[in-house]
Amino acid sequence: MKYFHLIWAALFRRKTRTIFTLLSVLAAFLLFGMLDAVRSAFNAPPSAAGVSRLVVSSRISIIQPLPQSLLTRIQALPGVKDVAYANWFGGYYQEPKNQNLMFQIAVDPNYLDAYPELVLPADQRKAFNETRTGAILGEAAAKALNLKIGDKIPIKGAIFTNKASGDTTWTFDIVGIFKAAEDKQRGQENQMLFRWDYFDEGRTFGNGTIGWYIARVNDPNDSDKVAAAIDALSANSDHETKTQTEQAFQLAFVKQLGDIGLIVGAIMAAVFFTLILLTGNTMAQAVRERIPELAVLKTIGFSNKSVLGLVLAEAILLIVLGGVLGLLLAQVLLPAVNAGSGGRMNFPPIGGSTWTLGIALMLGIGLVVGVLPALRGMRLRIVDALAGR
Amino acid sequence: MSALVEIRNLSKVYERGKQKVEVLHHIDLDIAKGDFFALMGPSGSGKTTLLNLIGGLDSPTEGSMTVGGERIDKLSEGALAKWRSSHVGFVFQFYNLLPMLSAQKNVELPLLLTKLSAAERKKRAGIALQLVGLADRASHKPTELSGGQQQRVAIARAIVSDPDLLVCDEPTGDLDRQSAEDVLNLLQMLNRDHGKTIIMVTHDPKAAEHARHTLHLDKGTLVEQTTVA
């Protein structure tokens, strides 16, 4: 510890350069913290314990449809309160870029009962029930696309051809605007819900099949048991199911992009490789500038090992300082990201394993970027360095 | 006075690529404890090389060097570093203070190699700064000090661990006349009142007048030794 002030002073000898380097280390470890949370979310062991709403989809893939006959069988299971169902539509309003502003889902009449957090005035719900081409929009989607009740809107579908139009364009009447009950659920306002019967009767294929079921349980403590019972209904059939929490179901959607762990790993490898090059160069430059000062330390009696240790400690301090700040920032930002997603995402907080891995990475990167400059400092000949050779 | 430095048949050869350059030729020299020697000579005569060898910064190619009873030419690099830390203080032409540290922290540097507590290190550095007349500048960074003041901080750093020997390489070479005079008077005081043995390389005959003896080197050979009146 008695050398700490010396290491600290050397680190901040050129403040601007050090601060910019620290910021790059901070950014790298901020990204590491966030991405590790994503990786953890995808790798979390599946458990429905404590959850009152379960999503039942095909075990093979979430794009594989399930038979409608499962509905009554799920409803009949002990512990199941009620069941709704839905199908992904995948279209856009006016322009493809609007796709992410409003996701369309065909839903059965019970769907809104399963999602009490979607608040729809009674008269609008009545209109929805009475209008076959009716659609209800989340407030955020309506604002983003400047839509209102009474509008008749065409939606261009990605897959489903409409028997009536002969192409993938479907026309809907907006009969209601729903709001999320809580701010953290605002992500659900980016949806357009429309009637299942209109969709199922109008499509040219897949009629009578379901995208996914939503089963509510009587007692959240029984969720794991109910999930297992639902999956047992279709065990060894051609439509085996996977019953999971909504979060796991949404993550499964994203998993279709590819191996998330591999993607996260590849991004982090690229980030840390760049970090090593950047900080390695900075450390090399810093030591090159300080050769006469290191020679002075050796002159007054610092051993080769001491000089090696001082430079290595400086590199490690640089990385650990930036890295810890980055992870702390990630820890602060993750809840904000979760809140900002309106409940769609629930990334776990940065835990002990992330910190352990992060610290190990910081020490490893610190050693890698510090070793060559440290060896240079250790090997310098005092008389040559003092003479500027 | 007994000899603090005993040099016998000392030679130093540098290899510059394929060329061998013999910088010092078979030098014999005794420097008594408590003496103040000025080493003079033209550029390239080997003054700094001889000073570096005496200070244990370099190793001779041939010959023996005994300083304070220790054969320093036989010491390993690690042992030599340890020996330097407790027996020699260095003063350079360009001060060579660490710019990011205060005067106080610069002076404390050699004490980091001891087992002294932080409080004791601070106390001793304070005494050294007081001795060179800069106690009131302890918290100043080198860039906030004049050249003469920086050189006095460097002298405080050289004496803080109470070494027997001070080696000074052109200590006034970068100073104006008045600051140079102050630094030379300080070295004289350290020699006279504190018994420090001082070896000083200089080009300046006026600076050499502050020493007790002057030693002239030419082409790596001792050519003349004079005693200052």
Of A359 and A224, the structure prediction assigns the larger pLDDT to A359
Per-residue model confidence (pLDDT) at position A152: 95
Of the candidates A32, A35, A79, which has an alpha carbon nearest to the alpha carbon of residue A225?
A79
Residue B196 C-alpha, separation from nearest chain A C-alpha, in angstroms: 17
What string of H, E and C letters represents the secondary structure of chain A? CCCHHHHHHHHCCCHHHHHHHHHHHHHHHHHHHHHHHHHHHHHCCCCCCCCCEEEEEECCCCCCCEECCHHHHHHCCCCEEEEEEEEECCEEECCHHHHHHCEEEEECCCHHHHCCCEECCHHHHHHHHHCCCEEEEEHHHHHHHCCCCCCEEEEEECCCCECCCCCCEEEEEEEEEEEECCHHHHHHHCEEEEEHHHHHHHECCCCCEECEEEEEECCHHHHHHHHHHHHHHCCCCCCCEEEEEHHHHHHHHHHCCCCHHHHHHHHHHHHHHHHHHHHHHHHHHHHHHCHHHHHHHHHCCCCHHHHHHHHHHHHHHHHHHHHHHHHHHHHHHHHHHHHHCCCCCCCCCCCHHHHHHHHHHHHHHHHHHHHHHHHHHHHCCHHHHHCCC
Of the candidates A214, A220, A243, A217, which has an alpha carbon nearest to the alpha carbon of residue A50?
A220
What pLDDT digit, counting tens, does each position of B175-228 carry?
889 999 999 999 999 999 999 999 999 999 999 999 999 999 998 898 877 776
Of the candidates A89, A129, A122, which has an alpha carbon nearest to the alpha carbon of residue A108?
A129
For the ranges A47-56, A74-83, B19-28, the lowest mean pLDDT is seen at A47-56
Q: Tell which B residues from 1 to 60 touch A, by Cβ distance under 8 Å.
A: 49, 52, 55, 57-58
What pLDDT digit, counting tens, does each position of A243-278 carry?
987 767 766 666 666 677 788 888 889 999 999 999
Of B139 and A252, the structure prediction assigns the larger pLDDT to B139
What pLDDT digit, counting tens, does each position of B118-127 carry?
999 999 999 9
Of A221 and A322, the structure prediction assigns the larger pLDDT to A322
Contact B90 A382 (CB under 8 A): no
Count Cβ neighbours within 10 Å for each residue of A102-137 and write b for 16 or more, e otherwise: bbbbbbbebbbebbeebebeeebbebbeebebbbbb
Per-residue model confidence (pLDDT) at position A253: 65
**Which one of A293, A297, A304 has the shortest CB-CB distance to B77?**
A304
Q: Please check the confidence at residue B2 and state whether its pLDDT lies above 80.
A: no
**B166 and B201 Cβ atoms separated by less than 8 Å:** no
What pLDDT digit, counting tens, does each position of A312-329 carry?
999 999 999 999 999 999
Take residue A248 and report the two structure tokens written for it: 């796991």
Of the candidates B142, B225, B131, B136, which has an alpha carbon nearest to the alpha carbon of residue B187?
B131
Put simply, whether B116 touches A (Cβ < 8 Å) is: no
Average model confidence (pLDDT) across chain A: 88
Cβ neighbours, 10 Å, residue B32: 15
Angle at B203 between CA B197 and CA B204, to 5 degrees: 85
**Which one of B84, B92, B99 has the shortest CB-CB distance to A301?**
B84
Q: What is the pTM of this model?
A: 0.72
User: Which residues span the domain enclosing B46?
Assistant: 3-227
- Phi and psi, residue A219, nearest 5°: -130, 115
- The residue written with tokens 């008749």 in the block is A152
**A369 and A279 Cβ atoms separated by less than 8 Å:** yes
pLDDT over 90, % of chain A: 55
Residue A277 C-alpha, separation from nearest chain B C-alpha, in angstroms: 26
A&B contacts, CB < 8 Å: 66
Put simply, whether B223 touches A (Cβ < 8 Å) is: no
Instruction: Count the domains in chain B.
Output: 1
Residue A311 C-alpha, separation from nearest chain B C-alpha, in angstroms: 15
**B6 and B65 Cβ atoms separated by less than 8 Å:** yes
CATH number at residue B74: 3.40.50.300
Domain ranges of chain A: 4-44+259-386, 65-238
Residues of B in contact with A305 (CB under 8 A): 78
Per-residue model confidence (pLDDT) at position A255: 65
What pLDDT digit, counting tens, does each position of A66-76 carry?
999 999 999 99
**B34 and B56 Cβ atoms separated by less than 8 Å:** no
Cβ neighbours, 10 Å, residue A333: 16
What pLDDT digit, counting tens, does each position of A5-51 carry?
999 998 898 899 999 999 999 999 999 999 888 877 766 555 555 57
- Cα–Cα distance, B96 to A350 (Å, whole number): 46
Q: Please check the confidence at residue B39 and state whether its pLDDT lies above 80.
A: yes
Per-residue model confidence (pLDDT) at position B49: 93
- The residue written with tokens 């493809």 in the block is A96
Per-residue model confidence (pLDDT) at position B16: 79
**B191 and B206 Cβ atoms separated by less than 8 Å:** no
Alpha helices (H) in chain B, listed in sequence order: 47-54, 77-87, 103-108, 118-131, 147-159, 177-194, 205-208
Q: Please check the confidence at residue A343 and state whether its pLDDT lies above 60.
A: no
Per-residue model confidence (pLDDT) at position A186: 73
Per-residue model confidence (pLDDT) at position B85: 93
Reported residue count of chain A is 389
Residue B101 C-alpha, separation from nearest chain A C-alpha, in angstroms: 7
Residues A213-227: what's their mean pLDDT? 89
Residues of A in contact with B55 (CB under 8 A): 299
Per-residue model confidence (pLDDT) at position A345: 65
Contact B100 A10 (CB under 8 A): yes
- Cα–Cα distance, A193 to A104 (Å, whole number): 6
Take residue B20 and report the two structure tokens written for it: 């061998």
**B90 and B171 Cβ atoms separated by less than 8 Å:** no
Put simply, whether A6 touches B (Cβ < 8 Å) is: yes
For the ranges A148-157, A301-310, A343-352, the lowest mean pLDDT is seen at A343-352
Take residue A46 and report the two structure tokens written for it: 């599946």
Per-residue model confidence (pLDDT) at position B66: 93
Residue A341 binned pLDDT confidence (cut-offs 50, 70, 90): low
Put simply, whether B66 touches A (Cβ < 8 Å) is: no
Per-residue model confidence (pLDDT) at position B181: 93
